Structure 1
Amino acid sequence: MCLGIDVCALMATLFIWCFFPPLQWVGSPCGLHGPYIFYKAFQFHLEGKPRILSLGDFFFVRCTPKDPICIAELQLLWEERTSRQLLSSSKLYFLPEDTPQGRNSDHGEDEVIAVSEKVIVKLEDLVKWVHSDFSKWRCGLHTGPVKTEALGRNGQKEALLKYRQSTLNSGLNFKDVLKEKADLGEDEEETNVIVLSYPQYCRYRSMLKRIQDKPSSILTDQFALALGGIAVVSRNPQILYCRDTFDHPTLIENESICDEFEHLHLFWPLHNSCTGRTSVLDPTGKLKKLVSAKS
């Protein structure tokens, strides 16, 4: 009888592992604070395929089955060492028509509005929110496909990926994360949505106007970056901008939200969307960089 129970338990465990593979951190820790260990990326499975999300990534989510699709920006990943909880913080962006005030004549066609409060959820709940079918999402500035085969010359693609990650994440080393993505066959080219600040968006539109008669591959050139462009390596990038926030009326009622970790706002990475730099605010109000996990 005991053997039968053990076999059943084993079969149940194998079933869970096969259909609900465990979440795992990717790359080395990037910071420590008290019982919290901070990380740069994690791996999960979406529709049976492994996928990695890292800090600064934008991706589509649906908070509940009845909610509209929105964009999430992954801003913080950490583990609570005593409870072994894997947690995340994201900033959510909604289309104006999906906010209580609705869309009006002041909103731009490529504009999204951010939820005023960051959303803290367990990783297991975040992956349930991730939405893979975004075929109906038609918003955003389409800059045209970039000829990424030209990026293989002289290590240009690797240099641009390093540049983008460093500007998004205050110089954190993402080499180990990029290697894991490459090993999975997951490419940064698949990332096709980016939310900019309004000044960044204006500079980007101006830059596109100046090089409109040039080949699309110039979008990955240092010349384009100097003109105010961004490190675009996606095949069909969708560029949006955000300049306003709103209070989401029902998000706080979502059972996945972890209110007990709200105190972490004292140590929150403050992402400056104009400079792309990230820092940490300590309890005294002073800015400091994340402490190395090795120190």
Structure 2
Amino acid sequence: MLSSINSERRDGAQLTQAFQFHLENRARILSLGDFFLVRCKPHEPVCVAELQLLWEERTSRQLLSSSKLYFLPEDTPKGKNSSHGEHEVIAVSEKVIVRLEDLVKWAHSDFSKWNCGLKALPVKLKELARNGQKESLAKYRQSVLNSGLNFKDVFKEKAELGNHDSS
């Protein structure tokens, strides 16, 4: 089941900032700007997706998503070469537009499928405060909140689900 979070009508289009879905019996929320792992087809490599736009198509009333995909160089047609960096990913030039229900089918939570790059750990505000980095996160969140979109409700719902520790 999919549910929209913070939808609003703008210029005749229904835009959404985030959506909630279940992945492996666990509720998850993805919002604009989030990065997550996907596999577009069963035998294709896992790649990173960046959620860029969510909206409802006017005539069919289907929820659609636009994402930018990033692949490891070795998973591209030209393959990896000596000019690629150690932790480099390559962005696909075209955005991928799919029904939201299909994007959810592509989503992966098994991070063992992606064993490259540096490991990012969940942000825990209490630990950041001890390390003197809480102010940096606050500045980032403020920049997101001042982007013209109001993500306060999205942050609140993510915190309630335990997707991010905002305490």
Q: What TM-score does the superposition give when structure 2 sets the normalisation length?
A: 0.85
Residues 39 and 45 in structure 2, CA contact (< 8 A), matched pair in contact too: yes
Residues 123 and 165 in structure 2, CA contact (< 8 A), matched pair in contact too: no
**Aligned match of 2:62:** 85
Amino acid of the residue matched to residue 24 of structure 1?
S
Residues 28 and 176 in structure 1, CA contact (< 8 A), matched pair in contact too: no
Change in CA separation of 1:95 and 1:80 when aligned onto 2, cut-off 3 Å: same
Amino acid of the residue matched to residue 5 of structure 2?
V
| C-alpha distance in 2 between matches for 1:73 and 1:144 | 18
**Aligned match of 1:59:** 36
Change in CA separation of 1:147 and 1:58 when aligned onto 2, cut-off 3 Å: closer
Which deviations, in whole Å up to 9, do the C-alpha atoms of 1:182-241 show, x marking residues without a partner? 12222168xxxxxxxxxxxxxxxxxxxxxxxxxxxxxxxxxxxxxxxxxxxxxxxxxxxx
| C-alpha distance in 2 between matches for 1:124 and 1:144 | 27
**Aligned match of 1:105:** 82
Amino acid of the residue matched to residue 162 of structure 1?
R
How far does residue 84 in structure 1 lie from its aligned partner after superposition? Answer: 1.7
How far does residue 72 in structure 1 lie from its aligned partner after superposition? Answer: 0.2
1:181 equivalenced with 2:163 (yes/no) = no
Change in CA separation of 1:147 and 1:80 when aligned onto 2, cut-off 3 Å: closer
**Aligned match of 1:116:** 93
**Aligned match of 2:110:** 133
Which of the residues 10, 13, 23 maps onto 2:2?
Answer: 23
How far does residue 150 in structure 1 lie from its aligned partner after superposition? Answer: 3.1
Stretches of structure 2 that go unaligned for 5 or more consecutive residues are: none
Q: Which has the higher strand share?
A: 2
Amino acid of the residue matched to residue 32 of structure 1?
R
Structure 1 residues 214-253: aligned runs within 5 Å: none
Change in CA separation of 1:62 and 1:145 when aligned onto 2, cut-off 3 Å: closer
How far does residue 46 in structure 1 lie from its aligned partner after superposition? Answer: 0.3
Structure with greater Cα Rg: 1
| C-alpha distance in 1 between matches for 2:20 and 2:155 | 12
Which deviations, in whole Å up to 9, do the C-alpha atoms of 1:152-206 show, x marking residues without a partner? 58xx477255236348xx34210011111112222168xxxxxxxxxxxxxxxxx
Residues 162 and 174 in structure 1, CA contact (< 8 A), matched pair in contact too: no
Structure 1 residues 199-210: aligned runs within 5 Å: none
| C-alpha distance in 2 between matches for 1:139 and 1:77 | 28
RMSD: 2.7
Change in CA separation of 1:183 and 1:42 when aligned onto 2, cut-off 3 Å: same
Q: What TM-score does the superposition give when structure 1 sets the normalisation length?
A: 0.50
Q: Percent identity?
A: 67
Amino acid of the residue matched to residue 23 of structure 1?
L
Q: Which has the higher helix share?
A: 1
| C-alpha distance in 1 between matches for 2:122 and 2:157 | 25
Which of the residues 48, 65, 78 maps onto 1:71?
Answer: 48
**Aligned match of 1:32:** 10
- Matched position secondary structure for 1:135: helix
| C-alpha distance in 2 between matches for 1:80 and 1:130 | 22
Count, aligned residues: 163
Amino acid of the residue matched to residue 163 of structure 2?
E
| C-alpha distance in 2 between matches for 1:125 and 1:184 | 23
| C-alpha distance in 1 between matches for 2:121 and 2:54 | 32
Change in CA separation of 1:76 and 1:105 when aligned onto 2, cut-off 3 Å: same
- Matched position secondary structure for 2:108: coil
